[in-house]
Structure 1
Amino acid sequence: MSKQKWFHRIMCVFCFLICVACDDDSGDTGDGYLRSDHTSSESHRTGENCAECHAGGGSGGYVFTVSGSVYQLDLTTPYPQTTVDLMSGVNGSGERLLTLEVDRKGNFYTTEPIDLGAGVYAIVYSPTGTQFKQQPVSVGACNSCHGVSSARIYVN
């Protein structure tokens, strides 16, 4: 086989490997922010406080503004394919500030800037139920309380 054919084959393999390496399901939104989605499985440590690593100065690489995990009613089984909304008013009233899809591992997260200062109200949706958080929250690290000092986030 000639050197030219070998070179051509090596370049084809190299290009293929580059394409495979660059194809991921990291949740990059195209606007420079990272956001969980229903098809992603890149997250890890379901139930742990994401902000332990994904906060300013942390080792996680990305700084999450909102993050957490959703569980089924048994509070043990992660609940993928659910959705989390952050609203300006209680029980779904007011303005929808953010919608996050829960990934295949039961986690949701974003690096998008959001003003939590005045407090926001969370809603979790599943195919069979809706769960409203009645108290406003001003911290986006949901698992810093849920699963530690209060029940895990769950939905029917």
Structure 2
Amino acid sequence: MMQRLLLILALLLTAAPAFAVNPDEVLADPALEARARTLSAELRCMVCQNQSIDDSNAELAKDLRLLVRQRISDGDTDEAVLNYIVSRYGEFVLLKPRLNVKTVLLWGTPVLLVLAGGVSLLVFARRRAGRPTGSKLTAEEQARLSELLDK
């Protein structure tokens, strides 16, 4: 009984993303629909933020899906559709951001900071290695040390 329940639950959950695109949104031309689905999978739902608009049931995601399909139907290329949506919502709408100066700085800065910290630690350690760590012994301490070593 438990296995059947788990199987039914698993089957329902695997179909959950399929419910996001409503039948009234689907384009009549299968080639255009395939392009729309591909582009929708690349765009982030601004409400859910961790789902593509293809998987999301949010109203904004539906609006974006319709916008993508409208632009494709109007004859825009995939790149033109993405550029149009990015111009309206910013680079954050892309699930895989484009490589440009901002993204290189965003991803490269932590690496540079770790390298700078490592170099700083190395320089600090090397400078400190040559310095004596204590004060000189007093005459009394030197005499006591000599007495202990002679035994």
Fold shared per TM-score above 0.5: no
Question: TM-score range with shorter-chain normalisation?
Answer: under 0.3
In terms of fraction of residues, the more helix-rich structure is 2
TM-score, normalising length: structure 2: 0.27
Higher relative contact order (CA 8 A, sep 6+): 1
In terms of fraction of residues, the more strand-rich structure is 1
TM-score, normalising length: structure 1: 0.27
